[in-house]
């Protein structure tokens, strides 16, 4: 048996939550492998929209087991709120939500350090979600972090205090003083730690190894997108984890040779939230329309997302880095009504026209080269079958499939579970 991966191929917000939710019926286990509450995975069904940050997107299915892997960073306060939001929907997570003891904890002072670091960067800020993600992964790789399993140890508060004091010392070196009430933050933190202690804390890699032996079907759910990957993204405007396929191995403890299908999700256009280069970004009415029609506002921060045309150079790169075997195209419906659609096929650089992602994609280094395709007028949101698609939309899908040399297996035409067309 193998582990299938589901990854975002752009700058996040591709619609991973929806697709995991749709695919969960075919899987026994859904496992998150990186990121933390910076993610906002939106699921919509029965007229209700749910946003998950840390909890895997299989939680609403009655049978699937959901695992938060060792590669994830957990803010217990946000996690507690997320769990509370599940209660009115009758979700009993007690026997189907397991958390790796090796996952790292986001402390209140990690969040403060994130805020201080961003403020100090001024114009060069990353545009972080300010959830403490960067500082927590820094403590992980710096071998100072606190893991979920540590909260079961007798001296856990000493460990906490040691790290907190180190953080307070670091904060005192920042020129921009951040206002905070640590007592208040700590009181919420310790209350949520008590709740976390009562959940199923496990050696998740061992659980997954056994599940593989028992021939269970496992889906690894990525967060953010390939272009935000710490190594392969648009550094330094990236997140602090491995968002690409390799992250599923390190973030769950699974070997590369058990990876089966790699599902790559992309939007029919492109969006980015936060700072950093975005070659196909639109600053005109077309970009505004995409944002309005596509409701392009961050599920975690509410910030307006920057919008632009699809970038095949970046997508090809993401497909290669991840070994994508099947594509899923989201939000094709948002492009209805544009007379023509631009597709970025190459970048013009000082060294000529290239079709691979270079070291820098800053505006001074690359200019997008477009091919223009005809648009379509029809509303796609009520279509339930590929046969109903207008010719120009079908041509758009075929064009992308050919250019990306990978089959597009799912086309999503709206946020609801039902608005999903399998090809
Ligand atoms: P951080 O991960 O909060 O430190 O943010 C780093 C960068 O990644 C910022 O540009 C964020 O806007 C972006 N980012 C982080 N998480 C997400 C996400 O789930 N979707 C889209 N962008 C994200």
Query: Nearest CA to 111 among 119, 121, 103, 101?
Result: 119
Q: What pLDDT, on the 0 to 100 scale, is given for residue 179? A: 86
pLDDT at 166: 98
Helix, strand or coil, per DSSP, at residue 386: helix
From 239, 275, 330, the mutation candidate for ligand 1 (largest count of ligand atoms within 8 A of CB) is: 239
Q: Which atom of ligand 1 is nearest to the CA of 303?
A: 12
Atom 5 (ligand 1) nearest CA: 128
pTM, rounded to two decimals = 0.96
Task: At 29, list the tokens.
Answer: 């286990």
Each residue's pLDDT, cut to its tens digit, for the chain (423 residues) gives 799 999 999 999 999 989 998 999 999 999 999 999 999 988 888 889 999 999 999 999 989 999 999 999 999 999 999 999 999 999 999 899 999 999 999 999 999 999 999 999 998 999 999 999 999 999 999 999 999 999 999 999 999 999 999 999 999 999 877 889 999 999 999 999 999 999 999 999 999 999 999 999 999 999 999 999 999 999 999 999 999 999 999 999 999 999 999 999 999 999 999 999 999 999 999 999 999 999 999 888 889 999 999 999 999 999 999 999 999 999 999 999 999 999 999 999 999 999 999 999 999 999 999 999 999 999 999 999 999 999 999 999 999 999 999 999 999 999 999 999 999
CA 213 / ligand 1 centre spacing (Å) = 35
**pLDDT at position 21:** 87
Dist CA 65 CA 56 (whole Å):
9
- Is any ligand 1 atom within 6 A of the Cβ of residue 239? yes
Site to probe by mutation for ligand 1, drawn from 7, 8, 10, 12 as the one with most ligand atoms within 8 Å of Cβ, is 12
**Does ligand 1 lie within 6 Å of residue 50's CB atom?**
no
| CB of residue 127 inside a 6 A radius of ligand 1 | yes
- β-pairing verdict for 340-349 and 352-354: antiparallel
User: Ligand 1 pocket check: which of 15, 20, 34, 129 to mutate, most ligand atoms within 8 Å of Cβ?
Assistant: 129
Residues annotated as catalytic are 13, 41
Question: 3-state class of 212 per DSSP?
Answer: helix
For ligand 1, say whether the CB of 129 is within 6 Å of any of its atoms: yes
Which phi and psi angles does 35 have, rounded to 5°? Answer: 75, -170
CA of 136 to the centre of ligand 1 (A): 14
| Residue partners of 127: CB distance under 8 A and separation at least 6 | 237, 273, 274, 275, 276, 303
């Amino acid at each position: 048996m193998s582990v299938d991966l589901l990854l975002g191929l752009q700058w996040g917000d591709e619609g991973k939550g929806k697709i995991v939710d749709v695919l969960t019926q075919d899987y026994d286990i859904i496992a998150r492998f990186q990121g933390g509450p910076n993610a906002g995975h939106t699921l919509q069904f029965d007229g209700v929209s749910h946003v998950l940050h840390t909890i895997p997107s299989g939680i609403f299915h009655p049978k699937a087991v959901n695992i938060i892997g060792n590669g994830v960073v957990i803010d217990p306060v946000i996690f507690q709120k997320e769990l509370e939001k599940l209660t009115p929907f009758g979700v009993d997570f007690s026997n189907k939500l397991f958390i790796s003891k090796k996952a790292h904890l986001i402390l209140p002072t990690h969040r403060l350090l994130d805020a201080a670091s961003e403020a100090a960067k001024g114009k060069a800020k990353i545009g972080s979600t300010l959830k403490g993600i960067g500082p927590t992964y820094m403590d992980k790789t710096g071998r100072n972090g606190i893991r979920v399993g540590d909260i079961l140890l007798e001296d856990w508060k000493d460990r906490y205090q040691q790290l907190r004091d180190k953080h307070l010392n670091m904060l005192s070196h920042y020129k921009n003083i951040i206002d905070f009430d640590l007592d208040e933050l700590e009181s919420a933190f310790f209350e949520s730690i008590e709740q976390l202690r009562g959940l199923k804390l496990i050696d998740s890699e061992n659980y997954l190894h056994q599940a593989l032996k028992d021939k269970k079907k496992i889906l690894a759910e990525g967060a953010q997108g390939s272009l935000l990957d710490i190594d392969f993204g648009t550094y330094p405007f990236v997140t602090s984890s491995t968002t690409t396929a390799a992250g599923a191995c390190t973030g769950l403890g699974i070997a590369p040779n058990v990876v089966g299908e790699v599902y790559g999700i992309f939007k029919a256009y492109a969006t980015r939230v936060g700072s950093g280069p975005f070659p196909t970004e639109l600053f005109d009415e077309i970009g505004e329309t995409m944002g309005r029609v596509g409701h392009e506002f961050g599920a975690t921060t509410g910030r307006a997302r920057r919008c632009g045309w699809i970038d095949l150079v970046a997508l090809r790169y993401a497909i290669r880095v991840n070994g994508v075997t099947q594509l899923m195209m989201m939000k094709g419906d948002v492009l209805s009504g544009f007379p023509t659609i631009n597709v970025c096929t190459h970048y013009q650089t000082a060294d000529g026209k290239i079709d691979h992602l270079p070291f820098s994609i800053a505006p001074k280094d690359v200019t997008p080269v477009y091919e223009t395709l005809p648009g379509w007028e029809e509303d796609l949101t009520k279509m339930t079958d590929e046969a109903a698609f207008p010719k120009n939309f079908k041509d758009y899908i075929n064009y992308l499939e050919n250019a990306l040399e990978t089959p597009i297996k799912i086309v999503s035409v709206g946020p609801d579970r039902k608005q999903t067309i399998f090809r």
